[in-house]
């Protein structure tokens, strides 16, 4: 990597999300820590296993300095099957001896065995945290995102290559895939989570849903889809 390895931290409530780029393609790795128990979930061991393990050590050092429970990884989740998101998976799994998780439709294409397959609506427990699994079909059939929701805090989402600042993920000019992915993002993310929600993509920088929500009709038009009443894209919390 031509630029320095620079871990960053998002701390809120009883959660820490440690994250960093692992290569010049800006592949992000995330370590979600439940600070009350020390349990931690790695998301996308994308490349450079030493950097992934260093990110875990960064989380462990933060816990030790704060006098919190020791950080103990409980799993490695891969957001989708593309190789740039699992190149370090085998080495990190061997080093940490923890189970692997991935979307059911993508798991067969990941050359490291998946111990738990995931589908939309599942939950992943990380210590006292319950993370919601969001299926986002289109970039791949089995892409999954994670929602980290803590009472009194803005939700955080980890969206893989399905949602980025400025648009949805690549669907290779396939109109059906584009419509499917945009529909999933609108119905399962923009209508479900409020504007202050922070989302972290598989590459590059985070954004908020509030910054992106006003562009949904532009994204529809770019995909050859009709515009809709913006009111239909508003946040509508489930009862």
Residue 119 forms part of a structural domain: yes
Q: Indicate which CATH number applies to the domain containing 34.
A: 3.60.15.10
Residue 236 forms part of a structural domain: no
CA 234 vs. chain centroid, Å, equals 22
Residue numbers of the domain that contains 191:
8-221
Interatomic CA distance for residues 189 and 175, integer angstroms: 20
Residue 231 forms part of a structural domain: no
Residue 234 forms part of a structural domain: no
Sheet bearing 100-103, strands edge to edge: 8-12, 15-21, 28-34, 39-43, 72-78, 100-103, 116-118
Residue 232 forms part of a structural domain: no
Residue 239 forms part of a structural domain: no
pLDDT, one tens digit for every residue, the chain (239 residues): 898 999 999 999 999 999 999 999 999 999 999 999 999 999 999 999 999 999 999 999 999 999 999 999 999 999 999 999 999 999 999 999 999 999 999 999 999 999 999 999 999 999 999 999 999 999 999 999 999 999 999 999 999 999 999 999 999 999 999 999 999 999 999 999 999 999 999 999 999 999 999 999 999 999 999 999 999 999 988 64
Handedness of CA 153, 46, 73, 122 (dihedral sign): positive
**Number of domains forming the structure of the chain:** 1
| Residue found under tokens 């994670």 | 146
């Amino acid at each position: 990597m031509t630029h320095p390895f620079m871990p960053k931290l998002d701390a809120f409530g009883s959660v820490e999300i440690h994250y960093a780029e692992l290569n010049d393609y800006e592949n992000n790795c995330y370590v979600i820590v439940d600070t009350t128990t020390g349990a931690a979930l790695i998301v996308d061991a994308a490349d450079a296993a030493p950097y992934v393990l260093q990110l875990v050590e960064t989380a462990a050092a933060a816990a030790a300095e704060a006098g919190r429970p020791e950080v103990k990884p409980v799993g490695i989740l891969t957001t989708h099957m593309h190789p740039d998101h699992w190149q370090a998976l085998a080495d990190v799994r061997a080093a940490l001896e923890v189970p692997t998780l991935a979307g059911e439709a993508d798991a067969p294409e990941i050359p490291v065995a998946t111990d738990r397959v995931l589908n939309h609506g599942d939950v992943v427990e990380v210590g006292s945290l319950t993370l919601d699994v969001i299926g986002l079909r289109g970039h791949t059939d089995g892409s999954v995102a994670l929602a980290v929701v803590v009472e009194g805090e803005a939700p955080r989402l980890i969206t893989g290559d399905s949602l980025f600042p400025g648009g949805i993920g690549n669907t290779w000019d396939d109109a059906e895939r584009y419509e499917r992915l945009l529909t999933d993002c609108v119905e399962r993310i923009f209508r479900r989570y409020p504007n202050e929600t922070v989302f972290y993509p598989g590459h590059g920088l985070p954004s908020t849903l509030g910054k992106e929500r006003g562009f949904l009709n532009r994204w529809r038009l770019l995909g050859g889809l009709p515009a809709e009443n913006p009111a239909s894209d508003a946040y509508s919390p489930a009862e």
